[in-house]
Amino acid sequence: MNLSYFIARRIIGQRQLSFSAFIIRLATGATALSVATMIITLSTVNGFQQEVAQKVYSYWGHLRVQPLEPYRAGLAEDEPMDRRPALEATLQQLPAVQHVQVYGARSIVLRSQGQFEGVVLKGVDSSLGRSPFGRFVRQGRLPVFPDSGYSRELLLSESMAATLQVSVGDTLTALFLRNGEDVRMRQATVCGLYKTGIAEYDANFVVGDLRLLQRLNLWQPGQVGGYEVWLQQPKEAAPLASRLNEQLPQGLVAMSTQEMYPNIFDWLGIQNQTKFIVIVVMLVVAAVNLITCLLILVMERTRMVATLAAMGMRPGEISNVFWYYAAYIAGIGVGLGLLLALALLWLQQATGLIRMDESTYYVDRMPVHIIWWQVAAVVLGSLLLCTLALRLPLGYVRRISVIKALRFE
């Protein structure tokens, strides 16, 4: 048997002095908290990024095909393009594509009970029911699209309904300005209320029938604002948009949702810096605590070190005794930290205990998304860094004078 390992096991099995026991518990607890903090930070930031991004994708799709407008703002009205059945068929046949939907947008004013609200009408067709947008409906239902004519039903956000003082089933008036002078009015019924939690969307967009928008915009029945495309995997959006741009006719462009709405996705990208900073700080804390613990343990067992050296044990073997001992402490700390993190993350997933301000963070509770390879990387990386860092204080063992250590005992 490895002599260093044997001695380390005997030391671990011994009852520690009160001060040594306190130091060991402190180092173990600090390591556990560091590991738990890293895993919780990764999982909550991952969940936050995924949840907010999924909200944007559910609303707009993963990419869009539309007329080329270099200086178009995100809330601007759409320029019409002719509906292209061949393009639709091509998009729907792509393996990465999950759903394709036509849309259009135009500015309108909603009036109810003396309240006015300027919004953007997002016109869609009956394929809306097959898109992920339905996840946002809180009251009522999606608009019903008749086979002929157009639907007079509108889907409002909860905040918009509160401003206009309407609820599901109420009637309001939609005002349209056509050709800069011609004001048209249409009575509409509130069929449902939705909430995304993203104030920019909830405050500005109302969903209705694309055919209503075509009539009010003086578009031809075959004209639309563009195509929204949902994919199997969000990461495929940018490569697919690049390939489509090589095939699309002149005047059309494919853009990923991240390109069209960079403000949200740039903000989400900044969260990666938070993960990096927390991981670095926690690794340093864990390593420093274990190094301090090892130094104290070596100093407390100076006589044992001198005795082993006097009996002919090599300095490297003596150092290994304490290295095994400290590695055991690190392993216990990492294991406890892993269990603590998984327990707290499960509790948050099950109960939503930690709530958040949805108007600020776009989510109403702290989301959790555990990526297991990241958890494994934290555990293995912590063990590796701690065991490597533990080699640093072991040089103290080589500087212990056998004669002086034994003389004063």
- Alpha-carbon span 75 to 65, nearest angstrom: 16
The β-bridge partners of 100 are: 229
Helix, strand, coil shares of the chain, percent, nearest 5, are 55, 20, 25
Cβ-based neighbours of 275, under 8 Å, separated by 6 or more: 41, 42, 45
How are beta strands 171-178 and 97-112 bridged, if at all?
antiparallel
Write down the pTM of the prediction: 0.81
Contact 258, 357 (CB under 8 A): no
- Alpha-carbon span 342 to 33, nearest angstrom: 12
Instruction: Please say whether the dihedral angle defined by the alpha carbons of residues 226, 231, 233 and 237, taken in this order, is positive or negative.
Output: negative
Cβ-based neighbours of 231, under 8 Å, separated by 6 or more: 62, 63, 96, 97, 98, 237, 240
Angle at 355 between CA 354 and CA 360, to 5 degrees: 135
C-alpha distances (whole Å) from 109 to each of 42, 185, 261, 386 are 44, 9, 24, 63
C-alpha distances (whole Å) from 162 to each of 45, 175, 195, 245, 356 are 32, 19, 12, 42, 22
Which pLDDT tens digit goes with each residue over 318-355?
666 777 777 778 888 889 999 999 999 999 998 888 88
Q: Which residues of the chain have pLDDT under 50?
A: 403-405, 408
Cβ-based neighbours of 180, under 8 Å, separated by 6 or more: none
pLDDT of residue 405: 46
Residue with tokens 């002086």: 404
pLDDT of residue 140: 92
pLDDT of residue 17: 55
pLDDT of residue 13: 55
Contact 212, 178 (CB under 8 A): no
Q: What is residue 293's three-state secondary structure?
A: helix
pLDDT of residue 373: 93
Cβ-based neighbours of 111, under 8 Å, separated by 6 or more: 117, 164, 172, 173, 174, 175
